[in-house]
């Protein structure tokens, strides 16, 4: 007898209750216990007797021109008039004591242990001045109970067990720490205010912030998958330091002065001022021109070469081979390095990295780790200035490899045209695929010398 749909649903719910519900309850109980422990620890933190002498300031640092500071930075300044202390709390520190290679490998795997550090305002400002970055300071107007909550959280965060946190570029960084702690002190006022969804995706924001470092912006666009193509909520976008400050400037505080309600941020001042980094040339246009223009010029240098072993057979070669094969070799090196490295990073991260935004990336259709083999071919073209000679054993591999590449490019372009992927790939399909495909066809025609037939029959 076939069970009814209602019976199947009931059996499914019973199975969930039997096997999954106990585990879920254990997890929820553990989370609740951990939250209770944190609350108890917070209550044990000593606070100044008079919070009226404690003042909090939001420090917002403009974007820089380096890879790690292109989104800007946020810190908190705490000035205690009673003890005459002035401290900047900065969540942007990381440990490189084990060396650059170890840090880079951990970063690739997704192990990004950042830490809270403290510094004097003078030392902090000197660092940003040396980096030529603008710094804004705004006083945060809080009631004494709100100050106490924020103060307890900061001192708790300085404990050795709490000082390190697992950095996440969109959800847990130097700015979200301040956002979350300030929202906690304000009893959820910020999160309740900004609940809508913006018209920007994470990819839009990444591209916008890396306009001054076009190669990095282009590379991140290649390496990041469809996870970053969803629209960002107003709450989520507060991971951006300048946007966070902009939003806080809109909020009113719970502090009244002279019969009027103060804004949450006041007494705004520019501590240091520099011009913002200049926008470089669009990385996509550069990538397109680097491939398309040289290939078009090399096409004008084509010549037909008769094959002596077969009267009606000929192939294409290049005029002025000493120059043009070197140009072709340089293009091959550039293409092989970028395509191979992009492919290795995407494929490798899929299996060994916790960066989920680089997994299951459709750009692996376009960039293959095996393209690094093209470095050998490119070097031979540069040194010997003649085609790579194919044997009867290597010819099938080379021909099928290049054919497979072209088929993958055609599939990629079709996916982009018909919108078959949730990942945004239209820019790559428009600017990179045509030049990449043209280059692949060109080297197939010119870069390899066909193997001669073993037997000739006339």
Q: Look at residue 329 and tell me if it is in a domain.
A: yes
Is there a single domain that holds both residue 163 and residue 56? yes
Residue 163 has pLDDT above 70, yes or no: yes
Interval 200-248: pLDDT, tens: 999 999 998 888 888 888 999 999 999 999 999 999 999 999 999 999 9
Residue 144 has pLDDT above 60, yes or no: yes
pLDDT value, residue 342 = 97
Write out the residue range of the structural domain in which residue 323 sits. Answer: 283-449
Mean pLDDT, the chain, rounded, equals 88
Is there a single domain that holds both residue 310 and residue 179? no
Q: State whether the Cα torsion 165-166-167-172 is positive or negative.
A: negative
Is there a single domain that holds both residue 252 and residue 299? no
Is there a single domain that holds both residue 411 and residue 264? no
Q: How much is the average pLDDT of 165-189? A: 96
Is there a single domain that holds both residue 248 and residue 337? no
Phi, psi for 374 (deg, rounded to 5): -65, -15
Q: Look at residue 372 and tell me if it is in a domain.
A: yes
Domain count, the chain: 2
Is there a single domain that holds both residue 43 and residue 141? yes
Q: Say if residues 31 and 49 touch (Cβ distance below 8 Å).
A: no
Q: Look at residue 26 and tell me if it is in a domain.
A: no
Is there a single domain that holds both residue 257 and residue 347? no
Q: How many Å apart are CA 9 and CA 299, to the nearest integer?
A: 66
Query: In 95-241, at which residue ranges do the beta strands (DSSP E only) sit?
Result: 113-119, 135-140, 164-166, 197-201, 231-233
Residue 248's CB: how many other CB atoms inside 10 A?
Answer: 21
Give the neighbor-by-neighbor strand order of the sheet with 85-94: 164-166, 113-119, 85-94, 73-80, 54-61, 135-140, 265-272
CA distances for 125 relative to 58, 88, 114, 122, 369, angstroms: 13, 10, 21, 5, 44
Residue 4 has pLDDT above 60, yes or no: no
Is there a single domain that holds both residue 377 and residue 399? yes
Q: Which of 245, 272, 299 is the last residue of a domain?
A: 272
Parallel, antiparallel, or unpaired: how do β-strands 113-119 and 231-233 relate? unpaired
Q: Look at residue 431 and tell me if it is in a domain.
A: yes
For residue 318, list its beta bridge partners: 302
Q: How much is the average pLDDT of 36-48? A: 75
Is there a single domain that holds both residue 304 and residue 239? no
Name the strand (E) or helix (H) holding 381. helix 374-384
Is there a single domain that holds both residue 385 and residue 243? no
Interval 103-134: pLDDT, tens: 778 888 888 899 999 999 999 999 999 999 99
pTM of the model: 0.84
pLDDT value, residue 455 = 54
* 19 confidence band (pLDDT: 50, 70, 90): low
Is there a single domain that holds both residue 170 and residue 306? no
Q: Say if residues 203 and 197 touch (Cβ distance below 8 Å).
A: no
Q: Say if residues 220 and 259 touch (Cβ distance below 8 Å).
A: no
pLDDT value, residue 322 = 93
Is there a single domain that holds both residue 255 and residue 287? no
Q: State whether the Cα torsion 259-246-126-271 is positive or negative.
A: negative
Q: Look at residue 227 and tell me if it is in a domain.
A: no
Q: Which of 219, 252, 272 is the last residue of a domain?
A: 272
Share of the chain above pLDDT 90, in %: 67
Interval 398-457: pLDDT, tens: 999 999 999 999 999 999 999 999 999 999 999 999 999 999 999 999 999 876 665 544
């Amino acid at each position: 007898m076939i069970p009814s749909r209602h019976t199947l649903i009931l059996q499914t719910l019973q199975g969930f209750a039997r096997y999954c519900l106990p585990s879920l309850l254990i997890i929820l109980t553990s989370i609740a216990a951990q939250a209770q422990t944190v609350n108890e620890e917070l209550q044990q933190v000593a606070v100044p007797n008079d919070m009226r002498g404690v003042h909090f300031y939001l420090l917002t640092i403009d974007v820089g021109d380096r890879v790690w500071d292109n989104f800007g930075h946020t810190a908190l300044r705490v000035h205690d008039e009673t003890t005459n202390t002035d401290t900047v709390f900065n969540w942007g520190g990381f440990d490189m004591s084990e060396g650059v290679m170890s840090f880079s490998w951990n970063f690739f795997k997704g192990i990004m242990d950042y830490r809270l550090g403290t510094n004097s305002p003078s030392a902090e400002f000197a660092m940003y001045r040396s980096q030529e970055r603008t710094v804004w300071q705004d006083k945060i107007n809080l009631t004494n109970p709100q100050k106490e909550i924020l103060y307890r959280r900061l001192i708790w965060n300085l404990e050795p067990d709490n000082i390190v946190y697992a950095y996440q570029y969109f959800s847990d960084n130097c700015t979200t720490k301040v956002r979350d702690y300030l929202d906690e002190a304000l009893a959820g006022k910020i999160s309740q205010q900004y609940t809508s969804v913006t018209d920007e995706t994470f990819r839009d924001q990444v591209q916008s912030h890396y306009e001054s470092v076009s190669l990095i912006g282009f590379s991140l666009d290649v390496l990041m998958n469809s996870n970053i193509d969803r629209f960002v909520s107003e709450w989520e976008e507060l991971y951006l330091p300048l946007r966070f400050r902009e939003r806080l400037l809109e909020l009113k505080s719970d502090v009244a002065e002279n019969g009027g309600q103060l804004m949450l941020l006041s007494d705004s001042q520019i501590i240091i001022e520099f011009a913002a980094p200049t926008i470089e040339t669009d990385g996509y246009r550069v990538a397109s021109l680097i491939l398309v223009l040289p290939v078009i010029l090399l096409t004008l240098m084509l010549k037909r070469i008769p094959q002596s072993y077969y009267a009606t057979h000929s192939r294409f070669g290049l005029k002025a081979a000493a120059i043009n094969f070197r140009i072709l070799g340089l293009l091959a090196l550039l293409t092989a390095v970028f395509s191979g490295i992009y492919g290795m990073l995407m494929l490798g991260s899929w299996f060994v990295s916790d960066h989920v935004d680089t997994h299951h990336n459709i750009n692996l259709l376009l960039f293959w780790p095996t393209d690094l083999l093209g470095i050998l071919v490119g070097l031979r073209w540069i040194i010997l200035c003649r085609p790579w000679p194919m044997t009867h054993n290597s010819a099938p591999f080379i021909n099928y490899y290049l054919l497979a590449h072209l088929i993958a490019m055609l599939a990629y372009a079709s996916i982009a045209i018909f919108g078959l992927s949730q990942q945004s790939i239209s820019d790559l399909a428009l600017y990179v695929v045509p030049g990449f495909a043209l280059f692949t066809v060109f080297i197939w025609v010119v870069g390899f010398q066909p193997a001669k037939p073993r037997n000739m029959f006339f």
